[in-house]
């Protein structure tokens, strides 16, 4: 680190990911020397690269107020809104060694710019608008109460930056998965009391391989969101809505959720083998034989587990208390 005569500024080298899909075979990282002021943002660092070093450096920005979602990038792997993140704080956090990267290297078009077509396609797929049979010449507004507005939680604060979408490991493994941003939007419009397409939307997000049941509940989306929205919370709400509105049908995923509750109710512990048998049946269980052998070796399951007539799972002390908690907290009959 090199401090200048003014302690409010610092001379540093900022690294940036560079790649032009039209001309480059491989991406590379380039360093840029600059002086950073204590109030400057990551967006200012990108402006300095472009205006003082290399005019071809490309990135998106528009509002500079954290509301358009255009400037989302990663700094040392962490998704940020460049116009919201103080550069000096990040330099302190990472010992003056920061690298600017696009949200997704796989979808990069040029430097920080990614092709978000998949993001917008998924957003469109969930009908991200209010569907209602409205009077084309209304004489008054369609008002909502504060309670009705609050029911949408913070889902309406999404600025479509894509940070959660490109941080989601389920989406990286399965391109058909709708992803946290689209599912957050699905909740937002389904929870809106003015909307009439709730059932249709819940069917869309029920689809196996695409919908809410393919979320692996890793929490990465909540960690990534610069607006501190928690998409996984909305995914949980959509699960509940599907049960409440009788959209949820018996499949591996819904039976897995039921099996989880069944195991805790029965033992107070999670019976890993029972969950597999309950959700996939005895035949399905054989698909997991390799994993089962590994789990047996480390003592996570025993050979008797999954044998229907042997119940060797211990029971937790005060099981009745656990059962009461389940009854109090369950919002749906599974
Ligand atoms: S919690 Fe679900 S939606 Fe969020 S990042 Fe993980 S898999 Fe994706
Ligand atoms: S939920 Fe958050 S991270 Fe995801 S697109 Fe919306 S604002 Fe961005
Ligand atoms: S420029 Fe609009 S959110 Fe950053």
- Within 10 angstroms of residue 240's Cβ, the number of other Cβ atoms is 13
What's the CA gap between 183 and 170, in Å, rounded? 13
What's the CA gap between 100 and 76, in Å, rounded? 7
The confidence score (pLDDT) of residue 124 equals 98
The confidence score (pLDDT) of residue 159 equals 98
Give the tens place of pLDDT for each residue, 294-334: 888 888 777 777 676 777 778 888 888 988 998 888 776 65
CA of 41 to the centre of ligand 3 (A): 11
CA of 236 to the centre of ligand 1 (A): 11
The confidence score (pLDDT) of residue 272 equals 77
By CB atoms closer than 10 A (0-12, 13-18, 19+), residue 20 is middle
Query: Domain of 27?
Result: 2-114
Are 127 and 231 in the same domain? yes
Residue 3: pLDDT over 50: no
Domain stop point among 88, 114, 140: 114
Are 31 and 99 in the same domain? yes
How would residue 4 be classed by pLDDT, with cut points 50, 70 and 90? very low
Closest CA to 179 of 101, 120, 106: 120
Residue 228: pLDDT over 80: yes
Please, are residues 79 and 159 in contact by the beta-carbon 8 Å criterion?
no
- How many residues are present in the chain? 334
The confidence score (pLDDT) of residue 1 equals 46
By CB atoms closer than 10 A (0-12, 13-18, 19+), residue 72 is buried
The confidence score (pLDDT) of residue 327 equals 85
- Token pair in block for residue 188: 């937002």
- Tell me, yes or no, whether 334 lies in a domain: no
Nearest atom in ligand 2 to 159's CA? 7
Average pLDDT over residues 227-232: 96
The confidence score (pLDDT) of residue 164 equals 98
CA of 57 to the centre of ligand 1 (A): 32
The confidence score (pLDDT) of residue 333 equals 63
Are 133 and 42 in the same domain? no
Are 196 and 292 in the same domain? no
Pocket of ligand 2 (CB under 6 A): 158-164, 180-181, 184, 224-225, 227, 229, 231
Give the tens place of pLDDT for each residue, 18-69: 999 999 999 999 999 999 999 999 999 999 999 999 999 999 999 999 999 9
Instruction: Using a pLDDT cut of 70, give the percent of the chain over it.
Output: 95
**In the chain, how long is the greatest CA-to-CA distance?**
78
The confidence score (pLDDT) of residue 134 equals 85
CA of 70 to the centre of ligand 3 (A): 5
Give the tens place of pLDDT for each residue, 65-112: 999 999 999 999 999 999 999 999 999 999 999 999 999 999 999 999
Helix residue ranges, H only, 212-271: 220-224, 231-244, 252-267
Q: Is 297 in the pocket of ligand 1 (CB under 6 A)?
A: no
Give the tens place of pLDDT for each residue, 183-227: 999 999 999 999 999 999 999 999 989 999 999 999 999 999 999
Average pLDDT over residues 256-270: 86
By CB atoms closer than 10 A (0-12, 13-18, 19+), residue 28 is exposed
Nearest atom in ligand 1 to 219's CA? 1
* CATH number of the domain bearing residue 128: 1.10.1060.10
Are 133 and 201 in the same domain? yes
Domain stop point among 114, 144, 173: 114
Are 95 and 171 in the same domain? no
Please, are residues 315 and 267 in contact by the beta-carbon 8 Å criterion?
yes
Say how many domains are in the chain.
3
């Amino acid at each position: 680190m090199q401090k200048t005569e003014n302690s409010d500024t610092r001379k540093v080298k900022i690294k940036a990911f560079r790649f032009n899909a039209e001309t480059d075979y491989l991406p590379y990282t380039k360093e840029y020397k600059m002086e950073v002021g204590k109030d400057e943002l990551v967006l200012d660092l990108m402006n300095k690269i472009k205006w003082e070093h290399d005019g071809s450096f490309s990135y998106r920005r528009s509002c500079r107020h954290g509301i358009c979602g255009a400037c989302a990038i990663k700094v040392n792997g962490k998704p940020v809104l460049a116009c919201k993140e103080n550069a000096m704080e990040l330099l302190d956090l990472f010992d003056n060694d920061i690298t600017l990267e696009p949200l997704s290297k796989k979808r990069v078009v040029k430097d920080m710019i990614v092709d978000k077509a998949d993001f917008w396609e998924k957003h469109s797929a969930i009908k991200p608008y209010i569907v209602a049979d409205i009077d084309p010449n209304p004489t008054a507004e369609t008002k909502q109460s504060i309670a009705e507005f609050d029911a949408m939680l913070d889902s309406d604060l999404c600025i479509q930056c894509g940070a959660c979408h490109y941080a989601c490991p389920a989406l990286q493994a399965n391109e058909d998965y709708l992803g946290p941003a689209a599912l957050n939007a699905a909740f937002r419009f389904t929870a809106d009391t003015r909307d009439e397409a709730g059932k249709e939307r819940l069917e869309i997000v029920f689809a196996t391989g695409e919908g809410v049941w393919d979320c692996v509940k890793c929490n990465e989306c909540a960690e990534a969101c610069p607006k501190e929205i928690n998409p996984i919370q909305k995914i949980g709400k959509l699960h509940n809505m599907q049960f409440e509105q009788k959209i949820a049908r018996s499949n591996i995923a819904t039976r897995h959720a039921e099996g989880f509750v069944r195991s805790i109710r029965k033992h107070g512990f999670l019976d890993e083998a029972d969950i597999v048998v309950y959700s996939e049946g005895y035949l399905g269980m054989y698909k997991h034989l390799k994993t089962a052998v590994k789990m047996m070796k480390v003592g996570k399951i025993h050979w008797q587990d999954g044998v229907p007539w042997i119940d060797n799972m211990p029971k937790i002390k005060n099981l009745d208390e656990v059962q009461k908690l389940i009854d109090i907290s369950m919002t749906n009959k599974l």
